[in-house]
Structure 1
Amino acid sequence: MTAPLICSIYKSPKKDEMYLYVEKKAQFSKVPEVLLEQFGKPVHVFDMLLKEDKTLARVKAKDVLDSIAEKGFFLQMPPPKEAYMLDAYRAPTQGRY
């Protein structure tokens, strides 16, 4: 069982729905510089006490805790675009309006 920790969550100004979870006291000290450059200037969303049994919207709390313990951070990527949503951006095909 992974120990609970106080976690800070930041969103990326460059990519919608991309979030970076870090231990509050360590902040970005363990996050690779190249990741921070691609992520952009982190925008603080909130802090929370994270335990394995905490329910999160898109990821498992245990996965977040394990990643922070192992790497010092957890990067939550945006969800994949649904195919039906991409249809609105595709060029119309012949005979279709």
Structure 2
Amino acid sequence: MKCTVFKSTRRDYTYLYLRDDLELEDIPEELRQLLGDTAEIMTLELSADRPLAQENVESVIANLETEGYHLQLPPKDDPSGWLDLPSAKETK
């Protein structure tokens, strides 16, 4: 599966994999705002037999197929604060 990878200029080590037939304007507005400006860094042809350095390639492909994009966060980053969602402890 072919995709384009963008780097967030607002959040270090945060990358967006975007399915090749889509544009940045096709992802949710909230996500675009959180990423801030992005820089296109590469185009990839993903396949299950070619692993990625930081992500499970099969998960990335599945997200691209269903959502059209995959968000790669920095290691050990908790994304719940990105959308101001309550933590699991706060909802109990």
TM over 0.5, shorter chain: yes
4+ aligned runs moved over 2 Å, structure 1: 27-30
Q: In the alignment, is residue 52 of structure 1 matched against residue 12 of structure 2?
A: no
Match of 1:41 among 37, 43, 62: 37
Query: Which of these two proteins has the greater Rg computed from alpha carbons?
Result: 1
1:1-97 matches, cutoff 5 A: 5-80=1-76
- Give the secondary structure class of the aligned counterpart of 1:14: coil
Q: TM-score, normalised by structure 1?
A: 0.73
Structure 2 unaligned spans of 5+: 78-92
- Give the secondary structure class of the aligned counterpart of 1:36: helix
Distance 1:7 1:20 in 2: 10
* Deviation of the 1:19 alpha carbon: 0.3
Q: TM-score, normalised by structure 2?
A: 0.77
Percent of aligned positions that are identical: 27
State the Cα deviation string for residues 36-69 of structure 1 (Å, max 9, x = none): 0010111101001111121111111110010111
* Deviation of the 1:29 alpha carbon: 4.5
Q: How much is the aligned-residue C-alpha RMSD, in angstroms? A: 1.4
Distance 2:75 2:65 in 1: 24
